[in-house]
Structure 1
Amino acid sequence: MKTLIISFLILHIATGFTALLVGLIPMFSKKGSRLHNRAGLIYVYCMIVVAITALLLCVLQPFKMMRLFLTGIAIFSFYLSMTGWRATKQKTKAPGFSDRLLTYVTLVVSVAMISFGIYLMSQPGDAFFPILFTFFGVLTGIFARKDYSLIGKPTEKMHWFFQHFTRMGGSYIATFTAALVVNIGRVLPPDTPGWVNTIGWIAPSIVGGILIGRTVAYYRRKFDTSKLTVQV
Structure 2
Amino acid sequence: MKTLISSLLILHVATGSIALLVGLIPMIAKKGGRLHNRAGLVYVYCMITVAITALLLCGLQPFKMMRLFLTGIAVFSFYLSMTGWRATKQKKAGLSSFDKGLTWATLVVSLAMIGFGGYLLLTRGASFFPILFSFFGTLTLVFAGRDIQFMTKPVEKMHWFFQHFTRMGGSYIATFTAALVTNLPRLLPSSAPEWMYTAGWIVPSLVGGMLIGRTVAYYKKKFNAPKVTVVA
Query: What band does the TM-score fall into relative to the shorter chain?
Result: over 0.9
Contact 1:94 1:151 in 2 (8 A): no
Partner of 1:156, secondary structure, is coil
Distance, in Å, in 2 between the alignment partners of 1:152 and 1:220 is 23
Alignment partner, residue 170 of structure 2: 170
Opposite residue 45 of structure 1, the aligned amino acid is: Y
Distance, in Å, in 1 between the alignment partners of 2:90 and 2:37 is 16
Percent identity, please: 72
Alignment partner, residue 14 of structure 1: 14
Distance, in Å, in 2 between the alignment partners of 1:102 and 1:187 is 36
1:45 to 2:45 alignment: yes
Distance, in Å, in 2 between the alignment partners of 1:21 and 1:94 is 31
Runs (5+) with no aligned partner, structure 1: 226-232
Higher relative contact order (CA 8 A, sep 6+): 1
Distance, in Å, in 2 between the alignment partners of 1:196 and 1:2 is 33
Opposite residue 32 of structure 1, the aligned amino acid is: G
Partner of 1:191, secondary structure, is coil
Q: CA deviation at 1:125?
A: 6.0
Alignment partner, residue 86 of structure 1: 86
Distance, in Å, in 2 between the alignment partners of 1:182 and 1:211 is 24
Q: Which runs of 4+ in 1 moved over 2 A?
A: none
Alignment partner, residue 158 of structure 2: 158
**Which runs of structure 2 are paired with 1:39-188 in the superposition (5 Å)?**
39-124=39-124, 127-188=127-188
Of Structure 1 and Structure 2, the greater helix share is in: 2
Q: CA deviation at 1:185?
A: 1.0
TM-score (norm 2): 0.95
Distance, in Å, in 2 between the alignment partners of 1:77 and 1:218 is 24
Q: CA deviation at 1:94?
A: 2.4
1:195 to 2:195 alignment: yes
Opposite residue 19 of structure 2, the aligned amino acid is: A
Q: CA deviation at 1:123?
A: 1.2
Partner of 2:213, secondary structure, is helix
**Which runs of structure 2 are paired with 1:20-35 in the superposition (5 Å)?**
20-35=20-35
Alignment partner, residue 213 of structure 2: 213
Deviation digits for residues 8-32 of structure 1, max 9, x if unmatched? 0000000000000000000000000
Q: CA deviation at 1:186?
A: 1.0
Alignment partner, residue 229 of structure 1: none
Distance, in Å, in 2 between the alignment partners of 1:152 and 1:34 is 33
Contact 1:94 1:152 in 2 (8 A): no
Distance, in Å, in 1 between the alignment partners of 2:181 and 2:103 is 27
Distance, in Å, in 2 between the alignment partners of 1:171 and 1:43 is 10
Distance, in Å, in 2 between the alignment partners of 1:186 and 1:125 is 27
